[in-house]
Structure 1
Amino acid sequence: MGKTRKCPHCGNIAGDDLQIVSVVDNASELQREVAIANMPESLRDEMREKLPKAIEVNEAPSASQLFACIRIAAIDDVIHLERLAGALRGKGISVDAENVAEEAVSQGLLIRQNDETYLLLG
């Protein structure tokens, strides 16, 4: 008998019948593997081919990538932080929306209207 296995999340001790179905390196790969494991066995191989391997996370986006997200978030030149956060997530950018907006204010691209809303200039 090997060493006791515990869940790294909750600490529960796992029984001897525990089966490791996959080992991953990051959260996006984990999400993919959990989704596949929860599918009917007959669909797993097909879905494994169709699902993307992993979502690329960009922790150091360029200024043009950030500005593209600002433009995506703008409706009638108004940017709500929640919509900007969604645009950033959609592009795999892991920078806080408020930080992006405040940097754009300092660069003269946006004007702050209130706590959650900015106006796109030009």
Structure 2
Amino acid sequence: MATSSVKVDLRFGELVGELLNSVDDLDRALAHVGDGEGAQSLARGVRMVRNKFLETLERHGVERMEPDGEVFDPNTTEAIRMDSVGEDQDGKITETLRPGYRLGEHIIRAAQVAVGRRS
């Protein structure tokens, strides 16, 4: 029975991972909304739907990961860029470029991050 439960969790995680690409698309669209009242009104509606979707995932145990300032961990994050930093920020995440998500201990999608490297 436990094996069946793990399979369901993994399949749910796979489904969520695919749906999160749509959330990324919404975020990119929202970043380019014009200044007109109609555009702003539409953006508010899109933002509400996006937030409701993410809140639903959270209620089902999906956790969003935005590890800014944390030490880089290749098990949960993917380094996309290296930033030149001082010694105190060496090896730490300087920016989350795309949030990651986890379901319990299972990583649905690794966060894509910029990592500080001492120059």
TM (normalized to structure 1)? 0.25
Task: Give the strand-richer structure, 1 or 2.
Answer: 2
TM-score, normalization by structure 2:
0.26
Q: Which has the higher contact order (CA 8 A, sep 6+)?
A: 2
Q: Which has the larger radius of gyration?
A: 1
